[in-house]
Amino acid sequence: MGRIAVLALLIGVAGAGPARAECVELGPICQRFWMYEAVFDGTAILSVPLVVTEGQPARSVTHSLVTYRVNKAWRGVSTSELQVFTFAIGYGEAFIPEVGERYLLMANRGHHGYLVADGCGSSLEFGSAKAQLDYLSTLDKPTRGGSVFGTAVLRRELQRPGSGHNTETAWSPVETRMRLTGGRSTRTAMTDGGKFRFDGLPAGTYSLRITVPPTLTEWVGPERSVTLPDTHACAAVGFSFSERPR
């Protein structure tokens, strides 16, 4: 009875969802890990498929309510079994687990109260998650501090020779000064090949500011606020510039 009620609730939620959801780039695993409420190694032991019709024009999308046996948990899991709702992202792209297979799961709670794993690449087959598992293995070890790093690039739209109005995008590094303020200190660094990095940072919130060259404009603005929730965490930040009109 309880499971039927859950399925009815999830079908209602899924059917009312948007026709298309976009994957958002969440950065490297040292940043992505801290964005999820539950991170665990689980083996799928039961999967109940839910086929719903969404969007205009209507299309069928497969969702699943999957029960996992928890092999190991790094975050937000205290039970030996756990149900996770999996839904499709985009046009048919989805993370659809198979019973008997082992996975690294990263999930957040949806507005219906159940954990949700999406098709954006954070949940993987266990054998394909080496980089993620390498990072997770460091969480119980001492660390020298968190990191803030990223890139500063200039975007140009170049006309292709002999192609009329067709253009192609060209990217080039921007060499300038970075300033990171927070943790009771201020640090500065120059970009090198358009890249910058600050290491050994305490947990906390930081202000990252880039010096904008006089001939350029930064698309979003010269300053970003980043938070390191733990000394094992990182924050990847990108600055994109365009040339000022002459």
- Average pLDDT rounded to a whole number, residues 108-124: 80
Whether residue 7 sits in one domain with residue 71: yes
Show which of 87, 109, 136 is a domain's final residue: 136
> What per-residue confidence (pLDDT) applies to 27?
87
Whether residue 79 sits in one domain with residue 42: yes
Identity of the amino acid at 182 = G
Domain assignment of residue 52, given as a range: 2-136
Whichever domain contains 224, its CATH number is: 2.60.40.10
Report the C-alpha gap between 56 and 59 in whole angstroms: 8
Whether residue 200 sits in one domain with residue 166: yes
Whether residue 181 sits in one domain with residue 152: yes
Whether residue 174 sits in one domain with residue 120: no
Whether residue 122 sits in one domain with residue 20: yes
First-to-last alpha carbon distance for the chain, in angstroms, is 69
* pLDDT of 22 strictly over 80: no
- Average pLDDT rounded to a whole number, residues 139-149: 94
Q: How far is CA 158 from CA 85, 186, 214, in A?
A: 45, 38, 21
Give the lowest-confidence range in 25-29, 88-92, 159-163, 185-189: 88-92
